[in-house]
Amino acid sequence: MGYLAADLPSSTNGPGAHSAPTVARLRPARATLASVARKAGVSPQTVSNVINSPQLVRTDTATRVRAAIAELSYRPQLAAKQLRTRRSQLLGLRIHQVPDPVVFDRFLHAVTEAAAKRDYRIMLYTAADDDHEIATFDELVDRWNLDGIVLDFTHSADRRTTHLVEHGVPFVSFGRPWDGLGKHSWVDVDGAAGTRAATAHLIARGHRRVGFIGWPEDSDVGNDRLRGWATAMAGAGLPVPPSRRCENDSILGARAATELIAHEKVSAIVCVSDLIGIGTLSAANARGLSVGSELAVIGFDNSDLAQIADLSSIRQPLPLVAEHCVRIVIEQITRGVENVAPEHVLLPPTLELRGSTG
């Protein structure tokens, strides 16, 4: 690797010159397409093909070029690529203010890593509501030349997806449309399958009165998770006790759990989130119940809190969600939205068992 002389101090013999020798500070010269080509013994065009169109290059040649790229720590000039492709290599994602940000935080990290693997970066933005977000879409695409959007927190009658479809903006949503399959691509986790499996596990362990604490009725995600519990109870021929609902808050969850225990005589409770699950554990302790034997509890999201509290929980495969989201939106960007059929990916969660279920 060569070195630049810009950092080498000049030597003088005039007044004020240092008598002691000066140690030169050398910094490596930035590797270029040409230096990689020389190292690999190929043309610069071949190096470019390996980076941008690897299918055009023989396997042995591509391997040699990639080895040279790694040895020289070569990084393509993004500005040149943007001029050539007319793409910004940016994907937009909105930051939401939520009571328990654990799921969004993990998804944000996962989608950032998945995008980086494909030489894309995530541009975060905020919006007060759907109307402001729609206005932000137009600004980001027009002003910042944003390539695509990763949408989240979908809900019924979501006008954001309609706007993006009508304007031909590449995008994918983490979350279903909830009022139909929709005309756009989406990736989601099957919450109903998760709570159904959790309830079936409790039934298999001998529980016959299994309660459920969900979110308010306007929560599509919460209703989906409630359906899984109710389906499992009905499928086992067991009575379905009235569920309880509350905001995503551990104190409110404790109150709801106290009501279920007192009035419905439940021996197990499936919770719509870990935060409510933590509240349920608190309610059990307050009533002197042994968690795991006298009252079994399962949360949702497999958060750090759940692991610390020994709370069984349902884990969402967020890294896989992110991989699918990034793959789908980049395919729309590279091939054109009109050339890619909408893709719907529904991923199953997994049940992580701990002490709260015995």
pLDDT tens for the chain, 358 residues long, are 443 444 444 444 444 444 444 444 554 567 888 888 999 999 989 988 887 778 888 999 999 999 998 898 887 665 455 545 566 899 999 998 877 788 999 999 999 999 999 989 999 999 999 999 999 999 999 888 899 999 999 999 999 999 999 999 999 999 999 988 678 999 999 999 999 999 999 999 999 999 999 999 999 999 999 999 999 999 999 999 999 999 999 999 999 999 999 999 999 999 999 999 999 999 999 999 999 999 999 999 999 999 999 999 999 999 999 999 999 999 999 999 999 999 999 999 999 999 999 9
**The pLDDT value given to residue 13:** 47
CA distance 214 to 197: 16
C-alpha 276, offset from chain centre: 22
Q: Please tell me the predicted confidence (pLDDT) of residue 28.
A: 57
Q: Which two tokens stand for residue 280?
A: 């349920």
Q: What CATH number matches the domain at 88-187+318-347, 3.40.640.10, 3.30.479.30, 2.30.110.10, 3.40.50.2300?
A: 3.40.50.2300
Query: What's the pLDDT score for residue 32?
Result: 84
Domain boundaries, the chain: 3-76, 88-187+318-347, 191-316+352-357
Q: Which pLDDT score is estimated for 77? A: 62
Burial class (CB in 10 A: 0-12, 13-18, 19+), 321: buried
CA torsion through residues 345, 234, 204, 254, sign? positive
The whole-number pLDDT of residue 78 equals 56
**Surface-to-core class of residue 6, CB atoms within 10 Å of its CB (0-12 exposed, 13-18 middle, 19+ buried):** exposed
Query: 191-316+352-357, what's its fold?
Result: Rossmann fold (3.40.50)
Q: Which CATH number, 3.30.1310.10, 2.40.10.10, 3.60.21.10, 1.10.260.40, labels domain 3-76? A: 1.10.260.40
pLDDT for the residue 60: 92
> Whole-model pTM above 0.85?
no
pLDDT tens sequence across 287-311: 999 999 999 999 999 999 999 999 9
What pLDDT, on a 0 to 100 scale, did the predictor assign at position 72?
Answer: 87
Q: Do 88-187+318-347 and 191-316+352-357 show the same overall fold? A: yes
DSSP conformation class of 99: S
Tokens of 105: 């935080």
